[in-house]
Amino acid sequence: MSRTKRRKKRKTLIIVAEIICLIVLSFGIYKIADNRAKQERQKVAEEEAAKQAAIQEEQARQEKQQELGQWYLLLVNPWKAMPDDFEITTVEVENGYVVDERVSDALKEMLADCRAAGYSPQIISTFRTRETQQYLYDHTANKDDTAIPGHSEHECGLAADIIDSDSAGWSDPLIDKQEDMPAQKWLMEHCQDYGFILRYPKDKEDITGIIYEPWHYRYVGKEHAKEIMSKGICLEEYIEQF
């Protein structure tokens, strides 16, 4: 091979090497740029996801607040008075006993189904006016067992005291023994299916401020009632963890 040819070949090899270097370099630059773009896209996507999550969280919080403000979750207890602007329209359920009209169908259905199952529930108290509650409070022997006027669920028209009619002849049917009566057992087992809860459960006196009352049923709506009864908690606890 002549010197000229060798020189030409070397030059060609150098050019090829330079081209290869250029390609490798370009590819490296491309990869770096591509990675940066990917990271940028990922960052934007993460920021968007976080934004959406925050929006959803806020929506859920607002929905919860709205739900808590619904009439059927109204909390009235010894420490929380019934709001002055709580409006109700009462209708008769049976035997002159009236409740909030939004609750009456559910209560009627519960009583009818309890009777159809062979039991004999009997309403002994439902809606009370402020005057009636005041009278009961003024004339009770034990003020600890009677709600202060303005603090009774009976004034809201959302509650009913129901006993087994076989206990109607007892000197006082409103005692713990009521829980053993057949109609009461049925009501305690099924009340949530109609949107009611046993409002003052056993061992929750410190939280509800009211003694165990295996006769006082309170409407909260089916969904809430099922959760409250299945968890064995009281309304105060449910609202707290809502």
Provide the 3-class DSSP secondary structure of residue 48: helix
User: 34 vs 138, which CB is nearer to Zn ion?
Assistant: 138
User: 69 vs 172, which CB is nearer to Zn ion?
Assistant: 172
Task: Supply the minimum distance, in Å, between the C-beta of residue 217 and Zn ion.
Answer: 8
Residues that bind Zn ion (CB under 5 A): 161, 216
The answer for residues whose C-beta is within 8 angstroms of residue 212's C-beta and 6 or more apart is 176, 200, 201, 202, 203, 204, 205
Task: Supply the minimum distance, in Å, between the C-beta of residue 180 and Zn ion.
Answer: 19
Task: Supply the minimum distance, in Å, between the C-beta of residue 174 and Zn ion.
Answer: 8
- From the list 58, 92, 213, 237, the catalytic residue is 213
User: 100 vs 161, which CB is nearer to Zn ion?
Assistant: 161
Token digits of residue 54: 């925050």
Q: H or E segment at 216?
A: strand 216-219
User: 151 vs 216, which CB is nearer to Zn ion?
Assistant: 216
- Quick check: is 213 catalytic? yes
Report which residue's Cβ sits closest to Zn ion.
216
Task: Supply the minimum distance, in Å, between the C-beta of residue 133 and Zn ion.
Answer: 11
Task: Supply the minimum distance, in Å, between the C-beta of residue 61 and Zn ion.
Answer: 33
CA-CA distance, 235 to 226, in Å (whole number)? Answer: 12
The answer for residues whose C-beta is within 8 angstroms of residue 240's C-beta and 6 or more apart is none
The answer for residues whose C-beta is within 8 angstroms of residue 23's C-beta and 6 or more apart is none
C-alpha atoms less than 13 angstroms from C-alpha of 184 in its C-beta half-sphere: 22
User: 200 vs 238, which CB is nearer to Zn ion?
Assistant: 200
CA-CA distance, 71 to 86, in Å (whole number)? Answer: 8
Query: In angstroms, how far is the first alpha carbon of the chain from the final one?
Result: 92
Cα 4 to Cα 8, 10, 12, 15, 17: the distances in Å are 6, 10, 12, 17, 20
Closest CA to 191 of 86, 127, 109: 109
Provide the 3-class DSSP secondary structure of residue 93: strand
Q: Catalytic site residues?
A: 213
